[in-house]
């Protein structure tokens, strides 16, 4: 499209110069033709401008997406937690979580997955992340946060994430665990997972596999999925 626009512009420019030379050389009979040509050129440029506006790439927003046997979940990724957002996107693009599951499920608390809980803490995490606490981003229903062990620096595990299931939120986790996302579509799926039967270790009897990725959605697509409140 850009190539043809430039080509048309070149042809119009060359023709305009030719007609202008005629006019300057006393070819007054061409003056009316020149005026008509200028009008057509203006119309053409306006048309090309409108076409370029219509075909411009719309702005998109990168969101988190989790596919499970019980359904799909979509969540916003906060720009206010850039380290955690970048980490999540990187691991999702590497398909890090595709063979893992929600391995810890506690109704009215959280559903958690990404790497197994172990007595040693998060030894299976590929790396740790500096905490990014934000007083405006809290552990409300559907908040997506990064798990961690009891390390005093409150460093997040790079792979272990959870989703808050308590409809009243979990205030005691604020400023202690980093929230990097917020669920906006798929609450019914969250509820299904949170109410599954579990064993003595809070692991679901029936394994809930996860496939994690990111999607780039336009404003229209995001709005249709219920994420309009995040648009600024």
Mean per-residue pLDDT pooled into runs of 10, the chain (232 residues): 49 55 54 55 53 70 97 98 97 93 96 69 76 98 95 93 98 98 98 97 95 96 92 75
Residue 213, SS3 per DSSP? strand
Of 102, 128, 131, the C-alpha closest to 115 is: 102
DSSP state of 118: B
Residue 115, SS3 per DSSP? coil
CA distance 49 to 214: 33
Backbone phi and psi for residue 114, each to the nearest 5 degrees, phi listed first: 115, -40
The answer for residues whose C-beta is within 8 angstroms of residue 82's C-beta and 6 or more apart is 132
pTM for this model (two decimals): 0.76
58 contacts 120 by C-beta, under 8 angstroms: no
User: Any idea which residue has 């460093």 for tokens?
Assistant: 155
How high is the pLDDT of residue 120? 45
3-state secondary structure 131-199: CCCCCCCCCCCCEEEECCCCCCCCCEECCCEEEECCCCCCHHHCCCCCEEEEEEECHHHHHHHHCCCEC
């Amino acid at each position: 499209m850009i190539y043809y626009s430039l080509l048309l512009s070149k042809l119009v420019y060359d023709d305009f110069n030719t007609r202008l030379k005629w006019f300057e050389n006393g070819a007054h009979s061409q003056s009316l033709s020149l005026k008509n040509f200028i009008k057509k050129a203006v119309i053409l440029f306006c048309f090309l401008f409108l076409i370029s506006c219509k075909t411009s790439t719309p702005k998109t927003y990168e969101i988190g997406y989790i596919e499970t046997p019980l359904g799909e979940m979509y969540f916003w990724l906060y720009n206010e937690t850039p380290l955690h957002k970048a980490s999540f996107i990187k691991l999702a693009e590497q398909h890090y979580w595709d063979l893992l599951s929600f391995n810890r499920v506690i109704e009215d608390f959280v559903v958690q997955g990404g790497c197994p809980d172990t007595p040693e803490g998060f030894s299976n995490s590929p790396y740790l992340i500096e905490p990014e606490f934000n007083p405006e981003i809290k552990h409300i229903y559907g908040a997506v946060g990064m798990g961690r062990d009891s390390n005093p620096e409150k460093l997040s595990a790079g792979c272990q994430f959870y989703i808050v299931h308590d409809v009243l939120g979990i205030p005691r986790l604020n400023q202690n665990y980093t929230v990097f996302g917020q669920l906006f579509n798929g609450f019914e799926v969250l509820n299904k997972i949170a109410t599954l039967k579990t064993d003595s270790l809070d692991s679901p009897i029936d394994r809930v596999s996860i496939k994690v990725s990111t999607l780039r959605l336009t404003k229209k697509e995001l709005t249709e999925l219920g994420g309009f409140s995040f648009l600024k």
